[in-house]
Structure 1
């Protein structure tokens, strides 16, 4: 990306010393890390009712108990991750906890599951947000995939500007949603106290099955989607203002408290108004219609909910790059993912997950319904491994109240483990099998990357610097024209060796090669030998590569290939030059005993 365009899109570069200024305050962290969790209030209560309504009014009797059980589980998971934040301030969340307490393989399983969850969160959030926009602008439906891709690209650019700016960009939508929905719940609660229970918004559907333990567990598993995103803060502890652990823990508890209150409030008022969720009207919309009608508050809640759903993907753009950076430092991901970019963000991780999310959205045609079965499977597996890891952590380190803490984490591990099995079983044939297949494949990929780095480290290991690794060798300069660029390359070649050979590939379509040789002798005063290489099939690269390989196998030592290169004034001129240099460089990369050097010649202004 040219510097001018990069500065325009991303802002000026930030020095490493500015890292402290790029950290997040608690309010901004809520926007950066909390949108995924907050947005789940818009569909979590619905998922409970979708399951329980199969048993009609008998099933609805379990609505609030299931919601309360989820709130209790949310508190257990939040407390567990709070302990994780203090115990592992470097970040990494489930991966770090599982790896250090359960072993490398469980840690990698957690990382793979979390990576898949981050990816599906982007896809589901963006497509759901686009669907909400389509409800207001039906004409956009034919272009929804393009809109999805455009939104992901926008999120990539916002996050490339740095953590602080990304957090600031999402603070307003987050608090607008919390404030407007909170106000609606207060209005609804007051209405219930003053006027009693309103007329049901919809008649309860007839039962199609009896109440059973499996149905209740299915409703519980569906409602637990409200907990997705709660782990993101534990992955991004280093992004918080110092003291990082204290601020991250406080933000997590605040987020869990807000999420729990909103979730129970929506579930409670939804039960009071007899809400029956559908594709056209969710529980929040039916609560709004009942208590405030078509007032500005109703539209504020609906519009802010749509925006938060759409921007919930930002949690993944904060969580995955930090997870990948921690894993890259441990050699499980490519090292490039641990490098910070122009604005101190983990740019490579942001771009990587954004690109894969675009591919996923395009592959599924921008359909939220088709993507939903992939959603939330990985996160519960992460919850289970993380909490099991914390049980082991307390057993190893003990401390005050360790038995109580281990009991809480153990309970959470068992419950989230059961939820994982239910979610996988319920969604397996609908698409969850893809996640079940992807997780071990990713673990295998991690082992492949780690093994490669270990082999390279062993192969490159050396005790002391030898006196000489390369003996003085020969230099080859490919020549096509007699100009200043060629003269610069030849001058550099002669500065590093007395054994310089110019090579000209003479294709049959070229002018007389003998004439080129005569001009060469005049131009160089016969100071540098020239070898003409015939090319009856008009190839240039292959004959050069064969000649260089032959020379590299000779007894004359290593071959340094010096390539002339033009540096153009404008970026659009670049494709008009240097094609031979690029292709020849690619062809020679990895050839034994061959060194490639490029000599730039700048065109005058």
Structure 2
């Protein structure tokens, strides 16, 4: 009886088993593959500007013109990395990605190091994407702010369930939020730049706020600290590089010629990510956006008093949408909700990538063989569940804070 009940629940949640021929997914065209596999890289601009401003806030440089130049530098690095990966996907079109490249050229030990780093990266991708997803959801619906951790966990569970079901319609459905996100970000950038050019400079809600001084009075020490913090801002902003390897591991899913199509997808995605990051960091600078860690300690109101402990800091993209579309509040909600949607798509890349890499390692004898076994829906269900468990632990440990 208990077995029948558990089977009924499993069928309700996951669905009926697939036959092997049911999972022969068709090769994807570039216009579908790009938003699906590059969503991790593209969606990173929803939080990369936050990381840049967060690092710069340590020396009260938020209001200066440093942030746009860091955005340009990170964008340049994105293009360099993309150029390197284009060579890799053409030379290794089997989809092994960095693990295959390192193993064949540097030996199995180097391959294992790379694989371990990628597995950790996939866990972080899922945890961070759902953490930022919760931040955007609570920005749109402030009443949910006290429940940010449950919102992030629910997001992970929904993504996990979708991964376990393994629907063949998923690629087309996942492409839509990515295109909507691209449209929302570029619309925000275009309207913002037009308003700046017209002299109708929009100001962020935090423009009149100040960031508490670091307390460093010695000029030499402050100068050295500034250099180090600018470098830290650059490294923090490099989260925009996240997801470049996802396309490399998905080469077999492209239409022929697979290597060429994957390389062109990488190039287009890199250009879009670099352009969006540069544009958003510039607009954040000119609109006076402030973004700090522990706002109640370091963010000061115009009268010099610190904000309250209940103050909820909006992501940079949300602050920009508030300022730029100040006469059209509905656009603010559109941008915020679309950003939340694309983070779900980005999280799905981890659900696709982690189990696939884990199964490959299991077949090579480096992980338990259970991770190479497919479930009823012909997905690597054990790997998906392991990924979800690790991501949930991270979300709970950090209390759904991407900056912890």
Structural RMSD (CA)? 2.9
Displacement of 1:126 in angstroms is 1.8
Q: Give the aligned partner of residue 185 of structure 1.
A: 189
Residues 254-286 of structure 1: CA distance to partner in whole angstroms, max 9, x if unpaired? 221221111111012122222222552332223
Whether 2:145 is the aligned partner of 1:166: answer: no
Q: Give the aligned partner of residue 318 of structure 1.
A: 352
Q: Give the aligned partner of residue 345 of structure 1.
A: 379
Q: 1:274 aligns with which of 288, 291, 296?
A: 288
Q: 1:249 aligns with which of 259, 263, 284?
A: 263
Kept after mapping to 1: 8 A contact 2:139/2:314: no
Larger radius of gyration: 1
Kept after mapping to 1: 8 A contact 2:362/2:368: yes
More displaced stretch, 180-189 vs 245-254:
245-254
Distance 2:279 2:213 in 1: 26
Kept after mapping to 1: 8 A contact 2:65/2:285: no
Q: Give the aligned partner of residue 288 of structure 1.
A: 321
Q: Give the aligned partner of residue 103 of structure 2.
A: 99
CA 7–240 in structure 1, closer or farther in 2 if over 3 Å, else same: farther
Q: 1:123 aligns with which of 123, 127, 151?
A: 127
Distance 1:200 1:296 in 2: 17
More displaced stretch, 92-101 vs 217-226:
92-101
Q: Give the aligned partner of residue 48 of structure 1.
A: 52
Distance 2:266 2:232 in 1: 27
Whether 2:253 is the aligned partner of 1:239: answer: yes
TM-score when scaled to structure 2? 0.81
Write the mapping of 1:203-242 to structure 2, written as runs, cut at 5 A: 203=208, 205=211, 208=214, 210-211=222-223, 212-242=226-256
Higher strand share: 1
Distance 2:133 2:252 in 1: 29
Residues 381-429 of structure 1: CA distance to partner in whole angstroms, max 9, x if unpaired? xxxxxxxxxxxxxxxxxxxxxxxxxxxxxxxxxxxxxxxxxxxxxxxxx
Whether 2:389 is the aligned partner of 1:355: answer: yes
CA 24–346 in structure 1, closer or farther in 2 if over 3 Å, else same: farther
Whether 2:147 is the aligned partner of 1:114: answer: no
Whether 2:337 is the aligned partner of 1:303: answer: yes
Q: Give the aligned partner of residue 368 of structure 1.
A: 400
CA 360–47 in structure 1, closer or farther in 2 if over 3 Å, else same: closer
Kept after mapping to 2: 8 A contact 1:91/1:326: no
Distance 2:349 2:62 in 1: 38
Q: Would you say how many aligned residue pairs link Structure 1 and Structure 2?
A: 370
Kept after mapping to 2: 8 A contact 1:26/1:240: yes
Residues 3-28 of structure 1: CA distance to partner in whole angstroms, max 9, x if unpaired? 76655544554443455434433344
Displacement of 1:71 in angstroms is 0.6
Write the mapping of 1:166-565 to structure 2, written as runs, cut at 5 A: 166-195=170-199, 197-198=201-202, 202-203=207-208, 205=211, 208=214, 210-211=222-223, 212-278=226-292, 280-293=313-326, 294-362=328-396, 364=397, 367-369=399-401, 372-373=403-404
Q: 2:20 aligns with which of 4, 16, 20?
A: 16
Distance 2:132 2:91 in 1: 36
Unaligned residue ranges in structure 2 (runs of 5+): 217-221, 293-311
Distance 1:53 1:21 in 2: 47
Distance 1:218 1:195 in 2: 33
CA 233–120 in structure 1, closer or farther in 2 if over 3 Å, else same: same
TM-score when scaled to structure 1? 0.56
Distance 1:285 1:148 in 2: 18
Residues 233-268 of structure 1: CA distance to partner in whole angstroms, max 9, x if unpaired? 112222333433233223222221221111111012
Unaligned residue ranges in structure 1 (runs of 5+): 374-605
More displaced stretch, 101-110 vs 24-33:
24-33
Distance 2:12 2:255 in 1: 27
CA 194–149 in structure 1, closer or farther in 2 if over 3 Å, else same: closer
Q: Give the aligned partner of residue 505 of structure 1.
A: none
Q: Give the aligned partner of residue 583 of structure 1.
A: none
Whether 2:60 is the aligned partner of 1:36: answer: no
Q: Tell me, what secondary structure is at the counterpart of 1:331?
A: coil
